[in-house]
Amino acid sequence: MAKIIYIGESNQGSNAYLRAMSLLRLGHEVVIHDPKAIVHKEFNSPFLSAIHFRSGYRLLQPKMQKWVSKIVEEEKYADIVWVNSGELLGKQCLKKLQSLQCPIVLYNNDDPTGGRDGRRFDMLLKALPYYTLCAVLREINKEEYKALGAKKVIRVLMSYDEVIHKPFSRIEDIDPKYRSEVAFIGTWMRHEKRDEFLLELIRQGVPVSIWGGRWSKSPHWKQLEPYYRGGALGGRNYVAALQGAKICLGLLSKGNRDLHTRRSVEVPYAGGLLCAERTSEHQEMYQEGVEAVFWSDATECAAICKKLLADDNLREKIRLAGMQKVRALEVGNEDICRKILEAVAEEQVILQKP
């Protein structure tokens, strides 16, 4: 199996770390190097963090280049370098990584070419030509990456983690504090109007429970506060809230041009019933009304929730069908990592042909 130098977060609650662990489960040797650990002082300062974010991490490049040089010197060799996110690594960092003479993979689950985050991804976008393969999660990113010089771009779906998101064997094992009727688990975002959507559901009599960060910043906080159950959830508590809800809402990030999100696969894998915005991708993934339910606005969502809450048999039938379908889609972390590595191997064969 391959030795993989994995440049990504080492925080055990992060999706980057879960992805690294899935590579390990596939039998590879995985050596994690966390770029955020190198710039933790800058990131822990609200003032400095804002400056670096808005300047596209330009001022951090000398520090990052020195760090990458040290990695290359210490590791000596690798079969693959896997860069998760990549926003901190400019083209000079990639040039240094190329001295390892192995394929370099970029996996970024954001929308770097979408413009929502200003100059945040400036360094990443300039480094795209130096990656052997880039994995993106939106079809629209493929041509945009190629226009910026990316050599090989593949599209993959969002993924759940086979271990962390595994459902509880018995519903009785879920702490009552994570049980709910209709749950939304996610962060308040200024421009996404999630608060207005949830408030409309509440006005129409839907018993909503909210978990996530920054909700007190909402201008509708006073009306939403009685329905707020707590901050961001992770690990088994997150799974408990998904599985412990009768219905789980899936809201998209319009700024990220999402047509599906991680919730779209994590909810049914963890044993929840997905109730999400109707999009072309959601309809390709699940049979509407059979494996998941979809809506176009708050009024339709409210009507669907009320119907499902009143019909235990229908709700359970859809929930079980969704659990079966998401597994058939093969979108676990291990599945996606395997697909990316196979694409890397295929690209290497093509490059070696005379």
- Region 276-297 average pLDDT: 98
Inside any domain, residue 339: yes
Examine the domain organization and report whether 14 and 62 are in the same domain.
yes
Q: What is the pLDDT of residues 62-113, one digit of tens each?
A: 999 999 999 999 998 999 999 999 999 999 999 999 999 999 999 999 999 9
Inside any domain, residue 165: no
Examine the domain organization and report whether 240 and 303 are in the same domain.
yes
Examine the domain organization and report whether 183 and 83 are in the same domain.
no
Structural domain range at position 66:
3-159+332-352
pLDDT recorded at residue 237? 97
Inside any domain, residue 15: yes
Inside any domain, residue 164: no
Examine the domain organization and report whether 193 and 253 are in the same domain.
yes
Inside any domain, residue 248: yes
CATH number, residue 307 = 3.40.50.2000
Examine the domain organization and report whether 103 and 117 are in the same domain.
yes
Examine the domain organization and report whether 188 and 312 are in the same domain.
yes
For the entire predicted model, the pTM comes to 0.94
Q: Is the dihedral of CA 80, 85, 232, 224 positive or negative?
A: negative
Q: Is the confidence at residue 155, as pLDDT, over 70?
A: yes
**How many independent structural domains does the chain possess?**
2
